[in-house]
Structure 1
Amino acid sequence: MLPSYLIVEMFPRLQIDAGGGVCVEYERGGPVIRRDCADIDYLVVEPYKGVSRRAVPASPFSNGEAEFLDFYIVGGFGLSRYRILVRNGRASLRRIHDVDLFNGFVKSGEYRVVEKAFENYVREYASGCVFGCLASMALAGVSGIPLPDGAFERRGKIYHAPGLAVYVDTRGRSNTIVEIAASAQKAEDFREITTGLFKEAYGVHWAYMGRLLALSPSMLLDLFLSSPRRAVVGPAL
């Protein structure tokens, strides 16, 4: 797993050692490319190591024809991933929609900035859940699931209430797989459960928004989103 580079308002400038030097600087409207940084100050998220502050140029990758580096920018309520490409001394920027910033994340160093990034990620996703929301996460150090107040019914590893279903598969303290499905009307509950889990865990193996067909609960949870025939008090996991 490769490290991720992150710029935010507090750590706003990423210098890339490509094409004679390229600076990417945080702006509220999006990143700005400059020739040089007055002061280098950015974050690196290293899988299973933590989050550290850096003040030296980052080394890009190369495909033989061009040099490139992916980075994330967190600002306001947004999280965006970009790729800067340097070819023949000229730099270009494009948006990338895949997000893998949280895979292998551990709470060490400047990790609270990544918590903010995750909140933005979930908030943006949940705001567009027209046909429903789904999250898949593998967590470390989770002792309980922050279910909202209300009545839940349990069937095996699935807890469900009208418009909301949570699959929990605990495999010791180091690995708890959780999938959350919600109707569009329950998007706020979906957001609270998902961000609550991220805050409680001391590590995250993976975290994705949307349907992952490789994991069977993604399809199974759809069966538990209708109104249950009988409801009981929500469990304390």
Structure 2
Amino acid sequence: MNEQLLLSNIRSVLIRQEETIIFALIERAQFRRNPVAYQAGALREAIGEESIVGYMLRETEKTHARMRRYLSPDEHPFYVGLPAPVLPPLRMDENPLRPNQININPNIRTTYEQEVVPYICASGDDGQYGSTAVCDVQSLQSLSRRIHYGKFVAESKYRMQPARYDAAIAAGDREALTREITDAEVETHVLERVRLKSQTYGQDTGGDATQSKIDPERVVDVYARWIIPLTKEVQVLYLLARNERQ
């Protein structure tokens, strides 16, 4: 099996991504919700109808696309029509994933802006729209990478036990596939690890140990309510796509 699909390697990648996501959420939580940053046309004269966060995200993706970020199979842009890379292609290892067009970034962005931000940030407006947008781009990109890594998880699981999934794939049975890919014990371990990391990283070194930059339980909830379910959605979509190409 391709090394990228070994469960030990996938687990290592996902654990590293936890830290990236936790730090991104901590950074975002220091600012208020700042709803103006998400309003289309808030800076109409300067950037048109795009929101401040959307503008920052699109411009960031343009730069990253030129640096060939989106040639990697574990990266998925939020915007289409991005510029071609200016760097020459890398000689990369064989992509272990089946060809697919699965990209749920529109859902990820809506969920993040409408549900996650109000959940982790204090209400109100502190005027820090630029800093908010920078933090949001970091959060969205890290969430997208984590959630879409479900493709690697699904491919690994399928290759190890194809017969376990074939009938549900052939029937297009999403509920059956969701049951098969769900491992409650693993999910519990993930949430426990996220809780511990959030408690540790959320404290100010040398400061008041009772004060935290973010409520650790809120970070755990972000995983339990949104990240894990969206990752499983990607897994199911990816497995179902096998039926389209058989």
| Bin for the TM-score computed over the shorter chain | under 0.3
**TM-score, with structure 1 as normaliser:** 0.19
More helix by share: 2
**Higher share in strand:** 1
TM-score normalised per structure 2: 0.18
